[in-house]
Structure 1
C-alpha cells in the first residue's frame, strides 16, 4: 500500500541574515510568510475595504466633454475648443482643479526633454534625426484660454505637463462645474520625434505623398482626484502613462473632405460623411460572417490620387469612457465585422480596422479577425466587452490603446525581386499579438481603470498575461514573447532588476519588469499555485468589482486572496516586492528503512552494508601473505564469518520485546516501506511550491505538488519525506519548467548529463597547449594570458 507522509523538517544553514522589518535580536530566521497587511499595504477604509472591493462609501469624479476641433493638414496642427462639465462626487470641497497637458512633454524645457539620458558614445541615426528636429520644431499646447460658464476668464497656471485652474467659487461636494478651454498645438512627426501619437507622411520616391494622423493626448484632460491620493499631479515624463476620469464625450472633428476617421465612440452622422454605398456596407458588416470592406482599397486609392477640396465634420459620441482618440487619413481602407457579445447593452460589437495600402495584405487577413478573437477570450476571462466598437488603426505608432480604438504598427515589406508587398511569419504573429494586446487594454485599464502613471504593471502585466492566454488559444505554437515563466529567467538574474512595485518612471528594463515578469507571475499563480478554477474565479471577481472603477494593486492582491480563499502574501512579497529569483536545488535524497529490531533481519542488513564497502586498494594490490593468513593463532572470533549471526541473548531480548510490545509499535516495526528524505535548498531566495516528479524502478512515475508553505520554518533549506513500497530510481523538481527556476541543472538527483552542441570552428586550435607567440604579459600582472584568436 502506498503511503505518503507530508512531513517537513528544517535544517538551519550558516548564511548571512536577511534584512527584516520585524524586530528580532538573535538568529537568522526570515519570515517569508509574514503578512503584508499593516506593513506595505494601506489600511482599509470605507472607500475600499479589506476584502479588496469598493467600500460602501466609494466615490469617483465624473467629467464630460464637448469638443470641436479642426485638423490643418498642411500646417500639421490641431486647433480646438472644449466645454468641460466636472461633477464633484468626492466628500471634499475643491478650490482648484488640475488638468493634464501631455503635449507639453514635447517642449524643449519640459521635464521629459531635459531629463532624457543617453548611454555610450555611439549615436543612432534616429537619435540624430530627433536631435536636429527638436532644434527646429517645438511641440506643446499653445493659445491656451480658460473661461467660466459665464464667459469670464479663469486664472490658470501651467506647471510642465499640468495646468491648475483656480475656481471663482469653491466647488462643494455634489456640485457641478462648467468651464471652457481653447487651445492649439503642432502635431509631432511620430517616426522622428517619437511618442504615442502624431503624423506619418509617405513622401519617399514612388510614394503617394499623403499622410496618416493619429490624435491622442490631444486636448487638455482633467487629472484624477481620488480617495487614496487626492489630486494626481505627477508630471508626464514618458514611461508612466495615464489615469483619467470617466465621462461622456460629444466630439466634432473637422478634417479634409476626403479623409476617413476612426475614433472613440460611435459615428452619429454617417449619412453626411459616408457615401450611400459605404453606409450600406457598414450595415451589412454587422451580420457578416467575415470582415467586409466599408471603404474599399479602390476607393482609398482614388482618394490618394486626387485630393478633394474643402472639409467635412465627423461627429462621434462616447459614453462612460476615460479618454478619446482618433485616426484620420485619405489613405484609409476600412473593413468591419459584427461580433456577438455577451453584454446586453452591446449584443454586437463592431470590430473594425483602418489601414493604408502599405499594410496590405497583412491587415486584410488578420487585423479585424484578431479583434474578434480578443473580444471572445477577454470576455471569458474578465467580462463582456462594454462598448459598441473595437478598432485597430495602422499608422506610425507601434502599439497604443485608448477607449474603443488602438494604434498598431506592423506592416508587410516589399519583396526585393518582385516589388510586391509580402509579410514574414514574424510580421504576421507580430500583428496578431499587438492587436490582441492593445484591444485587451480596453479592459485593462480603459475599463478597470488602474493608475498607469503609478503602477504600470497593474495594466500592462495583467494585460500581457491574458494576451498570452489569447495567443495560445489562437495557435498552440504561437511564439509568445511574454507569459511563459521560463522567459523571465534571464531578467530575474539581472542586476538591473527592480521590484515590480516600482514607480513607472524608475524602471530600467521597462518591458521585462512591467510586462514580462508580472505576466509570468500570474501564469504561475494560475497554473501552479492556485490552479485554474480558483484563479479564474478570483480574477473574474476582481474584474467585475472594479469595472468602471479605479483599483490599486492592494485591491487586486486582496481580491485574489479573498476570492480564492488562499493566503498569498508570500507570493506577492516574493514576486512583486523583491528581486529574489527562483532557484530551488534538489540537493540530496536519503533512503531510510525502519529498524525492525529483529536481530536476524538487522544483522543480515548490517552484513549487506558491510559487503557494499569497497576493499582497501592497498591491501588488494599487496601480493604477499598476511599475518592472519600465515599464523592461524592470531585469528579469533572477531574475524569469524558468524559474527553476523545473532546471539541467543539477542534473540531472547527481541522475543521479550515483541511479547510485551504495544500493538502500534508492532505495526510500525512491521512496515517494509522505504522512507525517502528529500533535501530542498532555496538558492534564489524566492519561496515557491516544489513540484517533485519521482520515477520508480517499476516504470511508474508520480508527481507531488508540495505547497510553498513547506518553507515556512526555514526559507533556505528543508527536508521533506515521502514513504513508499516502491524503489526510487530518480527524482526531479519542476520537470516542466513552470516556476521560472533559473538553474534546471540542479533540479534532478542523481544529476542528469545535459546534451549540448559544440560548434566546429575553422580556426586552427592547439588544445591543451599554447605556442610561444600566443602568450602575452600584461603590464599590471605577472600572469600569462592567451591572445584572442581573430577569425581569418
Structure 2
C-alpha cells in the first residue's frame, strides 16, 4: 500500500484445480476495478438526459471532472515457469489461455502482477477505497483489489457476466495466504487469521486481545481512541511492516488499514466454539460505535447461527466507513456516524445497527451459501434481509436499551405492511424478483424488501415457524460451500416441509402481482324444518320433484320471504325435529353432549381483485366481545381464483368480520377488509358505549 499516493501494488499466484468433470480450454478471471478505468463502459449504459436540478457534487461529477482512472494495470501474466501467457481483457473479464487444456482433477498454476489507483469512496462512491480526513490521514477499506477467479459450475459453465457496478459477485472457494505491507503505524485486519499477530501487536495490545477472548458480555478495547488520536496528530510513519493472514475455505478476501483506527472485541459462544466479534473504527465513529457495533456483531452471529448453521470462521469484523455498506468473508464496512459533537439520533443508531447486522449476516449468504449474486441478487440480499429482520427483533429483546421507548426494534424491512406501497405501485416500474439485479426498477424493494418480506410471510403466516425454520436450516446446511440456484432453494423448502409451495414461488417471485382481498357480502341464515321458497326455486330450476325429496334441514336467509323472527336465537336441534331424531339415533349421549349447538349461520363471500394468491385470514368478533381467528390455506383458491364462499356456524352472534387483521399478507387495499363497513362499525361502537 502506497499511502502517500493512495496506490496499490500486488502480485499473486493462483493455483486453480479443475474439480468439474469437463475439460477446460481456458480460464476466466474477474477484473472488477476496471469498472473505474478511464475507458469504462459503465457510465455509458445509463440514460436520462439533462436533469432540471442537481446537487453540486453530482453536477461536478457529471460535467466538470475528468474520469477517475482506477482500473487494473496488468503488468504480467506468467505460468509457473515464468513464461508469458496469452490473455484477453474484455472490460471487467480476462480470459487466460493455458498451454494445454486442463483435464478434470488437474490443476494449473499462474502468476499475475498488477497495480491500480485507489479511489476516494466517499466522494466518488464505490464498494471499496479510502476516506480522506482533515488531518491528512486516510482509512482504507480494500476489496476487489486483486484479479479474482470466476466460477465454473454445472449449470451454465463459466459465470463471466460483466460487472457493471450493481450486480455483485460469483466466486469459487479457496485457501488464501495474503501478505499486506502497509505503513508501520497502521492498524490492519482482514479475512483470515493474522498469523504474525505477536509481531504486529504491542505487548499491551496483545494482553488486551487475550482479555477480549475471555469477555462474553462486553467488548474490550484493544486500541484506544486516545492512542489512535495520538498517531493521527503525527506525520505518519515512513517505515513499512507486513501483516500475514491465512484463510481456508473462503471465496474472497477483504482488508482494512489506517493509523487512525480504534479497535475493540469480545467473544461469542456459537456451537461450542468461541468466535471473536470485532469492531474497527476511526474516532469519528464514537461514542456510537463503542456502544453498539460489537454487540450488534455478536447478536448477528447468534441469531444467524440459530436460523442457519453454526458460524464456521473464527471472527467477524465490523469496520466503520462513511456511507458504506459492503461485505466480504469475516469482514464488512458499515455506515452510521455521530455529528461533530458526538450526538446522534435514533435514526442514525438504528441505521447503524441494522447495516451491521445485514453486512455481518452476509457471511452466511452468500459468503458460505454461495449463490450467484451477479444473476440472482435476491438469493443473497433477499434471504439475508429476512434473517436480518429476525436478528433485529432478537437485538431488541436481548439489548432492550437499544429500543428504549419503543415496543419492538423498528425494522425497516420484514413486516408485510411495509412492502405494500411498493407492490401497489405503478406496474410499469416494477420487475419480478426473478430478474437480473442490473435490470430491475426500485432495486432496494425488488432485491431486498420484497423477497425478505415474502420469506417472513412464509414463516409466520403460510408455513408456521417450526416447519419453516427446519426447512430453511436444511437449505442452509445442504448448500454450505456450494453454488445453489433459485430452484435449489425452492425444492429444499418443499422437500423438508412436505408443503406444496409452487403457488407461493410463482406469485411472489415470478410475477409482479399484488395481494388484494375483500369481503363482498355477509348474509345471515337460520335453520328451519319448513320447506322454503329458495329450496322450491332450486328444485324447479333443476327439474326435480320436491315431493320426492326426504326431510331436509332448511337454511333461511335473514330478510327473505321465508324468514320469521322466531327462528332467531334457536338451536338447530330444538327447532328441527327430524334432525333431533337423527342425532338421538346415531350418536351416544356423551357424543351428543360434546356437539356444537349453533344458532347463527353466515354466508361470507370473499373476493380477490388482486392476482396474488394468499391464505385467507379471517377474524370473527362476537357479541360478547370475544374473537376467533381462522386461517384458510391458499389452496382454497385452487378452483376459483376470483371469489370464494365461506360458511360459518356459531352459537353466538357475529358483530364484526375482518380479513388479515394483523396485516400479515401485504394486502394493498384494506378498505374492503371489514364487515360491516367502517361507518357502520363506528355507529355500532357508539351504540355500545
Give the TM-score taking structure 1 as reference length. 0.76
TM superposition shift of 1:526: 0.4
TM superposition shift of 1:721: 1.3
Match of 1:772 in 2: none
Match of 2:69 in 1: 138
How has the CA–CA distance of structure 1 residues 658 and 598 changed in structure 2, closer, same or farther, with 3 Å as cutoff?
farther
For structure 1, list consecutive stretches of 5 or more residues without a partner in the other structure. 1-70, 415-419, 614-643, 645-656, 757-792
2:5 paired with 1:72 = no
TM superposition shift of 1:292: 1.1
Deviations 1:393-443 (CA, angstroms, capped at 9, x unpaired) = 1123521000000001111012xxxxx221111111111111101000001
2:51 paired with 1:125 = no
2:437 paired with 1:504 = yes
How has the CA–CA distance of structure 1 residues 549 and 602 changed in structure 2, closer, same or farther, with 3 Å as cutoff?
closer
Deviations 1:486-527 (CA, angstroms, capped at 9, x unpaired) = 001100011211111111110110000110011111111000
Match of 1:301 in 2: 229
Match of 2:478 in 1: 545
Aligned match of 1:160 in 91, 94, 117? 91
Deviations 1:256-278 (CA, angstroms, capped at 9, x unpaired) = 11111121111111122221111
Match of 1:692 in 2: 618
How has the CA–CA distance of structure 1 residues 667 and 167 changed in structure 2, closer, same or farther, with 3 Å as cutoff?
same
DSSP-derived class of the 1:182 partner: strand
- Please give the residue correspondences for 1:666-705 in structure 2 after superposition, counting only pairs within 5 Å: 673-705=599-631
TM superposition shift of 1:592: 1.9
2:44 paired with 1:114 = yes
- Please give the residue correspondences for 1:468-547 in structure 2 after superposition, counting only pairs within 5 Å: 468-475=389-396, 476-495=407-426, 496-547=429-480
In 1, the alpha carbon distance for the partners of 2:61 and 2:139 equals 19
2:676 paired with 1:747 = no
TM superposition shift of 1:693: 0.5
Aligned match of 1:358 in 284, 292, 303? 284
Match of 2:661 in 1: 735
Match of 1:169 in 2: 100
Q: Is the 8 A contact 1:262 1:393 kept in 2?
A: no
In 1, the alpha carbon distance for the partners of 2:655 and 2:526 equals 16
Aligned match of 1:438 in 348, 359, 371? 359
How has the CA–CA distance of structure 1 residues 592 and 330 changed in structure 2, closer, same or farther, with 3 Å as cutoff?
same
In 2, the alpha carbon distance for the partners of 1:170 and 1:256 equals 43
Match of 1:247 in 2: 174
In 2, the alpha carbon distance for the partners of 1:399 and 1:330 equals 22
The structure number with the bigger radius of gyration is 1
**Greater relative contact order (CA < 8 Å, ≥ 6 in sequence):** 1
Match of 1:51 in 2: none
In 2, the alpha carbon distance for the partners of 1:313 and 1:189 equals 24
Deviations 1:336-355 (CA, angstroms, capped at 9, x unpaired) = 1111121x6xx111111111
2:78 paired with 1:147 = yes
In 2, the alpha carbon distance for the partners of 1:607 and 1:336 equals 70
Q: Is the 8 A contact 1:486 1:737 kept in 2?
A: yes
How has the CA–CA distance of structure 1 residues 77 and 695 changed in structure 2, closer, same or farther, with 3 Å as cutoff?
same
Aligned match of 1:588 in 496, 521, 524? 521
Aligned match of 1:222 in 130, 135, 149? 149
DSSP-derived class of the 1:135 partner: coil
Match of 1:761 in 2: none
Match of 2:306 in 1: 380
Match of 1:321 in 2: 250
Q: Is the 8 A contact 1:594 1:672 kept in 2?
A: no
Q: Is the 8 A contact 2:36 2:68 kept in 1?
A: no
Aligned match of 2:325 in 396, 399, 410? 399
Aligned match of 1:429 in 340, 350, 358? 350
- Please give the residue correspondences for 1:429-468 in structure 2 after superposition, counting only pairs within 5 Å: 429-468=350-389
In 2, the alpha carbon distance for the partners of 1:406 and 1:672 equals 61
DSSP-derived class of the 1:287 partner: coil
Aligned match of 1:725 in 651, 656, 670? 651
DSSP-derived class of the 2:229 partner: helix
Pairwise CA RMSD of aligned residues?
Answer: 2.7
Aligned match of 1:201 in 132, 140, 144? 132
Deviations 1:356-398 (CA, angstroms, capped at 9, x unpaired) = 1111100000011110111111111111111011001112352
How has the CA–CA distance of structure 1 residues 583 and 168 changed in structure 2, closer, same or farther, with 3 Å as cutoff?
same
Q: Is the 8 A contact 2:354 2:392 kept in 1?
A: yes
TM superposition shift of 1:585: 0.4
Q: Is the 8 A contact 1:397 1:407 kept in 2?
A: no
Deviations 1:229-287 (CA, angstroms, capped at 9, x unpaired) = 10011100111100100000000000111111121111111122221111111111100
For structure 2, list consecutive stretches of 5 or more residues without a partner in the other structure. 397-406, 533-551, 567-575, 588-595, 683-689
Give the TM-score taking structure 2 as reference length. 0.87
2:225 paired with 1:292 = no
TM superposition shift of 1:729: 1.1
TM superposition shift of 1:658: 7.9
In 1, the alpha carbon distance for the partners of 2:74 and 2:621 equals 75
TM superposition shift of 1:754: 10
